[in-house]
């Protein structure tokens, strides 16, 4: 099971490196436009293509992070359903962190099963967990900051579980 935790950490480090690239691109866009003519056009073209790549990458990073969390939780829980596995650790991780994991899970499902479109069923699920700002018929749009926050929260959630599991192992001895 320790190996599953190590895989989880490595996978999230990979996702963080991808997010770091988006920050570099953002910093380059802040530079004044010093290139004129054809060089400026090339810079603008590359910047636009990078934006398109990041628009695709953000939901994929959320899906990847959620799938990594699900893989880890399957190694420490007897449940099969991700929602139930998150709830198994709610008392240990806390309500807020568990709610964030549910939000990440729900948004992953919207991306995978609804092509990022919020339907009536997904709208009800979002409201059930107190997740606001999304309406039926809307397309789910993620910011880099939101994806980064989900990454960070998933790491915290797993680290809390690992610590709790370490303490319980000591008590059993």
Transcribe the chain into DSSP letters: -HHHHHHHHHHHHHHHHHHHHHHHHHHHHHS-----HHHHHHHHHHHHHHHHHHHHHHHHHHHHHHHHHHHHHHHH-S--SHHHHHHHTHHHH-HHHHHHHHHHHHHHHHHHHHTTB--HHHHHHHHHTT--S--TTPBP---HHHHHHHHHHHHHHHHHHHHHHHHHHHHH-
Query: Rounded distance, CA 142 to CA 63, Å?
Result: 12
Question: Domain extents for the chain?
Answer: 2-172
Residues of the chain with pLDDT under 50: 169-173
Determine the pLDDT at residue 1: 61
Determine the pLDDT at residue 80: 82
Query: Rounded distance, CA 136 to CA 120, Å?
Result: 6
Determine the pLDDT at residue 43: 72
Mean per-residue pLDDT over the chain, rounded: 87
Determine the pLDDT at residue 171: 45
Q: Is 87 in contact with 98 (CB distance < 8 Å)? A: yes
pLDDT digits (tens, 9 = 90+) for 61-94: 999 999 999 999 999 988 889 999 999 999 999 9
Determine the pLDDT at residue 172: 42
> How open is the CA angle 144-66-13, to the nearest 5 degrees?
65
């Amino acid at each position: 099971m320790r190996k599953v935790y190590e895989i989880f950490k490595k996978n999230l480090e990979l996702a963080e490196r991808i997010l770091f690239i988006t920050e570099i691109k953002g910093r380059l866009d802040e530079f004044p436009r010093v290139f004129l003519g054809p060089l400026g056009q090339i810079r603008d073209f590359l910047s636009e293509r990078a934006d398109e790549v990041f628009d695709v990458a953000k939901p994929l990073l959320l899906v990847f992070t959620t799938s990594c969390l699900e893989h880890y939780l399957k190694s420490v829980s007897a449940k099969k359903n991700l929602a139930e596995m998150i709830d198994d650790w709610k008392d240990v991780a806390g309500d807020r962190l568990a709610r964030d994991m549910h939000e990440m899970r729900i948004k992953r499902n919207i991306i995978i099963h609804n092509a990022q479109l919020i339907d009536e069923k997904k709208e009800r699920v979002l409201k059930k967990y107190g997740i606001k700002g999304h309406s039926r018929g809307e397309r789910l749009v993620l910011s880099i900051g939101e994806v980064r926050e989900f990454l960070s929260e998933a790491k915290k959630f797993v680290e809390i579980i690992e610590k709790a599991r370490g303490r319980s192992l000591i008590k059993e001895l």
